[in-house]
Each structure stands twice: as C-alpha cells, then as structure tokens.
Structure 1
Amino acid sequence: MNKPLIRTIGRHKESYLLMTPFMIFFLLFTILPVALSIVLGFTYYNMIEPPRFIGWYNYIRLFLDDDIFIIALKNTMFFAFVTGPVSYLLSFLVAWMINDLSRTLRSIATTVFYIPTIIGVSVFPMWRLIFSPDAYGYLNGMLMGLGIISDPVAWLIDKEYILLILIVVQLWMSLGISFLAFVAGLQTVDRSLYEAGVMDGIKNRFQELWYITLPSMIPQLIFGAVMQIVISFSVADVSIQLAGFPSTEYAGETMVTHIMDYGSIRYEMGYASAMAVVLFFMMVFTNRLVTKILQKVGI
C-alpha cells in the first residue's frame, strides 16, 4: 500500500470506518460470488464431488450444444431491448408529469405508481385469472363478448403469445427504483435555472426539459439506466409464475430461469456459473454502452 493512500485514509479515517460495514458486505456478497462464479465456470461441479477443472468446455457447450440456452439468450435480449428502454422512458415521463404537483399529491401519485413494483409477486394470481385459457378468463370473456374471438385462447400456454404477455406484465411492474430516483432527482433541480432559461429564450416545457432538467439530473439518469439494465436482464419471476417452469416449448425461458434450472434443480453448478458469467458480462457491456450514449448526447 503506497504512502499517499495511507495518508488519505489517515486523514479521513472516520469516513472509512463508517464505510467498513458496507464494504465488508459488498465484498462478501457481491465481489466474492462474482469471482467464484468466474472460477467455477471453468469447472465441473455438482456440489457432491470437488470441482474439477474442464477449461472452456462449459462455454463451448453453452453456444454449440445447448439449444435451450440459445432460446433463453434470444428471449433475454428481446426482453432487455424492449422493456429496458420503454420502462426507462416511462419511469422518467411519469416522474416528470407528477413533479409539479403539490407535495401531498405528488406523494400520493408516487405511491400509486410504485405500488405495482411492491405487490407485483402477490398479484400474479390476478394475471393468471385475466389470461386464463378457458371462457371464464377475463380477457377471453371480454373478447368473446365483443365477438372478436369465438373460442377461448390459451394465452399462457400458446407459445405465440407467452413472450408478449410477459413483456406486458413486466412493463406494468416497471416503475421501480428508477422511478423513485427520477422523482427525487427532479426535486433537486435548481428552480432559478428555469427563470434564467426563460430569459435566455427557452419558450416551452420541452426545451426546458432538454436544456435544463436533463443536464441537471445526470447522476439520477445514469443510476436509473443501470437499474433498468439489471432488472430487464434478470427477468425470472414473471416467467415462472405465469408461463410455468419450464414454459411451453421454452417460449418464456430467460437466462435467469435457465441458470436456476441447472443450478438449483440439476445441481450442475459449474455450467450454471458459466451462464451467470455470460449474463454478467452482457450487463456490464450494455451498461457501458448506454452510459457512453447518454454522455455523448450530453445527458
């Protein structure tokens, strides 16, 4: 450890002491699991025998010998590139629209929009009832009543509809941490900037948004992007609860459900770790790409 770093720690020892509990938990439950996954990805490990080094075999098997993984990869990418940007924009637009409400109304609106994220798991039975495959399902009943369809549709069983329905439900649950960050960020924007903007020629709310609000919310925008990337790449509960585990012809399979299959059911921990490493680097790459795009457009 070099002397400048030691002196810095000495000058700010109280701050480092307060950070210590977080850093311990971060190292134990974030850094260590990622490092172990990378190591185990090069082994055959079934939790009974000691890990056995097998080199790149797990990764070769992933892309050349596992058709279900390719389906899960495609579904995950589709989820990420649809729900991620849509959820991100929706979270910001809703936060922006309720920002000028009074404090009480804004608190109520924030609670109302955030509730689906909190109760998402508990209302899956309601979604199953809506998309029930018989004539008593709400959606089937409504469409049959309107004469749009003549026979009930097995929405959560037919592979043509599964992924679309999962995306709809995921979007319903999407106003989460990013939404709260945007609500908080909008409240920190200096109001005097808007007055100065009017004097400088800003004529409407959209110019105000582009030239003042967004540049003033850089930390919250980047944080929201990171959180949306993580959420959109780690979809699992929605698929398991609505489409089943596994879903029809793996139409709702995602990388996380595939990892759960091999990790918690088949106990092929080395192979599951290899998939987790691939997913981790996909998230890191996407995060870097989105951050660069936001910085390039001046946000």
Structure 2
Amino acid sequence: MAIQATVTQSGGMPNPPQSGVKFRSHGRLIRFLQKEKVAGVVCSAPFIFGFLMFLVVPLALSLYYTFTDYNIIGEPRFIGLDNYIRMFTKDPLFWQSLGVTFFFALISTPLRLIFALLVALLLLRNSKISGFYRAAFYLPSILGGSVAVAILWKQMFAADGVVNKALGLFGIHTQFAWLGNESSAIWTLIILAVWQFGSSMLIFLASLKQIPSELYEAASVDGANKWSQFWKITLPLLTPTIFFNLVMQSINGFLAFTQCYIITQGKPRNTTLFFMVYMYDESFTRYHAGYGAALAWVMLLLIGIYTGVLFLTKRFWVYDEEA
C-alpha cells in the first residue's frame, strides 16, 4: 500500500480524481450549450455580429457624418445643420436630380408592372416550351443591372447604333442622337428599366396560378366573357401581388444607379442625373462625403414617406380575403 501511494504521488500512474473533474466540467459545458436559449444565442451570434458591424454601426456613422464636413481623407469637422441648409436652399442640382429620379421611378414602375402582367398572362398556359420562355423573359432582370448591358444599351441608342439602323429598314433614315437629346435621353433609361420586368413577371405568374379555376368556371356559366373575368376576378385577386411589386419596384426605381452612371452620366444638362449618381459624385468625386451622407439620409426618408403613403392607400384598392 505504501509503494502504491508513493507511485501515485510521484506521477507514475494517472490520477483518477483529476480525470473525473475534467469529465464533469466538460459535461456541464455540454449541458449548458444544449439549453434552448443558449443554443439560440450561439447560432444567431454570427448574424447579430454582422448586423451590428455591417449595418447598425455604418448607419450610425453615416448619420453622424451628415452633421460634419468630411472629405474621407481627413478628420470630420462638426458643422451642425449646414449640409441640410445647403441642400434645401443653395443646391439646385439636389432638386433637379430629385425630380429626374421621381419622374423615372413613377413612369418606369407602372410600365414595368403592366408588361410583366401581360407576359405572365401569356405564359400562364403550360406547354413544352413554357419553361424556356419564362427563363428567357426573366433573363433581362438578371443582366439588366450589369455594366455590360448598360454599355450595350448605350451603343444601341448611339447616332449610328442599332435603333437608328432598325428604323432605316422601315424607311426612316435618321442619325438622331437619342442620348444627346434632352427630351429622349431619359426615355432610353426608362425603356431599359421596363425591359427588366422578369422578376415581377414570375411573381405575377405564381399568383395567377393560385387563383381557383372554379371562379372562372362559375363566371363562364353566368355568361361573363374573358374581359369581364379579368376585371372582376383576376385583377382584384392580384391586387396584393400588384401592391408588393409596386412597393419593391418603386424603391428600386428611386435607387437606380448603373443605368445613369454608365449610359448618360447625367447628360445632357443633367436631365438624366439620378439622385444616387449625384450622391456618388458628391461623396467620391468631389470628396464631400458628409454632404453625400446627408443626401443618402434624405432619400431614405423620402422612400419611407412614399412607402408609408402606399400602405395608407392599401385599404382602398387592395383585396383582403379577411375583410
């Protein structure tokens, strides 16, 4: 017994009590992590960290920069409300870019939704090649915001571009500069936006398939034609989807950037100067980052007001099954 005690004390054999302590501590840790609340916190920690570091903190910093004179390189200098005073009283480009953006969004969004709904109605019937057509019509929505498509669009509407050559096939020979004319330049960007109706089209198509066919059968028995069925059945039941597409596409219209920046750069005479492009120029071309941050927060506020107005009007025209 004395020899065994000596060997154990000298470290020649493992010490069972120490191993037991380790196993018990590991067991407590595992049981602690297996608790529902703890597991939820651990699993959501990466998202919470990303949300704080890449959204909340940048938002807070940008809000602070709106009250400073900041050129990205140097230290921000607090100037109070000077950026906002300059914006609303001394900057005509602010009002012009805001007007151009609202015109673009309020014209392109309804046209895009109309085309999306028409194409969705055409693709509603299943056929062997319906999947191909759906993919083909959706493709512009994927490519429409890319730089390559914007450059191609710019070449198409040049004086010697495809559009003028296509008009020549119908006897209309012209070298009209679509992008250089103050009246037509903005419409080239609107046409590009309307061309990107694929995402709205797929949403409309999914909603159309959810409408019960029994409603159309009952309407046919009562003598309603296709036009009456569309106005009395299809359109009312699609109003929730129309509302969703209207909100999302309007926000995308207000935040449009690539089309203007690549195709027109705001020319001619700032008639195509989108708000986001103007904000980018102020922030990273003229190095007025504080003023650019103020522009961004004003646009955020305007989008919030516009969306709030849409939600206030929702109860007057959006069909609610629970009502």
Q: Is TM (by shorter chain) over 0.5?
A: yes
Report the Cα offset of residue 131 of structure 1: 1.7
- Between the aligned partners of 1:97 and 1:20, the Cα distance in structure 2 is 46
2:179 is matched with which residue: 156, 175, 198? 156
Could you tell me which of 242, 245, 250 is aligned with 1:221? 242
Within 5 A, what are the aligned runs for 1:105-184?
105-120=129-144, 121=146, 122-133=148-159, 136-143=160-167, 148=172, 152-173=175-196, 175-184=197-206
The residue that corresponds to 2:121 in the other structure is 96
Paired residue for 1:69?
94
Distance in 2, Cα, partners of 1:157 & 1:285:
34
Greater displacement, 93-102 / 59-68? 93-102
Aligned residues: 283
Give the alignment's TM-score, normalised by structure 2. 0.74
Larger Rg: 2
RMSD of aligned C-alpha atoms?
3.2
- Relative to structure 1, the CA distance from residue 180 to residue 17 in structure 2 (aligned partners, 3 Å threshold; closer, same or farther) is farther
15-24 or 180-189: which moved more?
15-24
Distance 2:52 2:244 in 1: 21
Q: Which residue of 2 aligns with 1:276?
A: 296
Q: State the 1:276 CA deviation.
A: 0.8
SS across alignment from 2:190: helix
- Gapped regions of structure 2 (runs ≥ 5): 1-34
Residues 139-188 of structure 1: CA deviation (Å, up to 9, x unaligned): 334556766466x2222223332112221222222x14322222222233
SS at match of 1:251: coil
Q: Percent identity?
A: 30
Q: Cα gap change, 1:227/1:24 in structure 2, threshold over 3 Å: closer, same or farther? A: farther
Check conservation: 1:234, 1:256, Cα contact below 8 A.
yes
Cα distance in 2 for residues equivalent to 1:157 and 1:192 = 54
In 2, are the aligned partners of 1:143 and 1:149 still within 8 Å (CA)?
A: yes
The letter of the residue matching 1:45 is: Y
1:176–1:260 Cα change, 3 Å: farther
Instruction: Give the gaps of 5 or more residues in structure 1.
Output: 1-9
Name whichever of 61-70 and 189-198 sits farther off.
Answer: 189-198
Q: Which amino acid aligns with 1:261?
A: D
